[in-house]
Structure 1
């Protein structure tokens, strides 16, 4: 197996889990600098996939055993897109083969599981690991990050909204031993984006609960305080309507002005901003990717990092932090108190 970063040969990928992982596979099959070699799913029929012809259309081989795929195929990296509780043996196999890992969120089921997974990854200190917190890699968010480091100055107060449609999540998301709730499994995208923009969070307050009879909280209003003194208010959960296609908004008031991100299908693609002394607002927009291409920019960053021999971002620490915040939200919901992170 060639070593990523030492040649210009494509990074050879395997993808494990063809629920949402099918989207990663399709992106990788055409992504410059990457080559999709193989895919694996224990029960592809449950995903509506006829495995061998489906994989062949992408130029890959299909497997029903992820461990066998990792053992038999000549890979540089693996995308792990199965629920958190099913990842341990896959991570071990990848680490023993010296593969890089692109890991779907959430990083873990809860804080105890996050500690276990951290100890597992620590066994492979040279393994490049990237969390698929794909929103921070969208062009609109990257541009906002540049503006906060430039003319707008640091973010002070943020209002953000990302709420999934009701009945849009598979059952494992609501299982405390699997996804452990929609905040941990999906609102974590917004939690990571806020940390990317505002820095280290220090405490959380929350209100909400299970409004539609979900096993865990399905709607939350959260206030986050950051070490910088910045504050963010966000709404998350799964109370939305399919017809509105998951609108996403984020307004930030900064040291020298303000900005607003907006979009739909979980993604931001429109940015308006102005400094306090601007005569007119600036408007910047980007094409909205298809829903199945939401991770394309993140995967492109991962591939570029492997070619360059640099650490991809965000790494596993960002995954651990998102789990800690999600669990702090639940604690705050139950206690009504401010919870330190």
Structure 2
């Protein structure tokens, strides 16, 4: 494995590892990792050369941030690591709507809490965790820019939002010479490729790196389910709750899993590693975010960096998991291209 094959995140100077350590399992021993296991996972990732740590203020109600802050302090790693955390979800009294969302008031409440729990003066990458459907992009952009100028964050990015929202933010930032987002964090895997329609092209055009979450589809691509589980939620089979319930148990996804098994047998590697190798190789992807509840899972995940699939194997996986046609993309064919240009095929740069 080579976690030191660093790359820049999007069109920025922030340098990150090819795999980010997701820490949603930290501080949640019921279904995640007990504290001593979380600590071993953190140290193993860093000792392997990793520098990109991803958390959120709502993970284990702030406990994940607290643990990470302690681990970083104990080893004096602050300058070495890229710490990323998130805001958006409610973090106060239930009757107080301003303790959630992407407005400036909640953003400032959230950043102060994260800085305190992480025991740091600044966040390297501050994610808007989810689009709240109400806050104007202008307010979000200005507020995050103010945090950059105040030195409380170095960069920011967006997670789980429409592509048009991210594009508008990039455009406004360019037009008004404001700090701009540098990355998107989105669900992406062999069985969830929807972002290929709008988000990946938008990210490439806007200079945004893409950090996929759940690249194993909640364990589905690890082969931990069988068709007999299709009526179950998967409770207990992953050592805890499957966040997707049974939504991944579709006939299409079972076919994708069958193809993944064929390719994994060809390269003599676990399903997990092949699925991760496919995600990591996709254009625009910078650092998949991988969580682990056990130290062995971390090592298994990191070993995916050693895999080099052949073009034929990529084709098998691509064809088995291809998106269903959706308007207007069915129109954009080579035949239409030729009809537009008088029978001549024209390719863009």
TM-score normalised by length of structure 1: 0.32
Structure whose residues are more often helix by fraction: 2
Structure whose residues are more often strand by fraction: 1
TM-score normalised by length of structure 2: 0.32
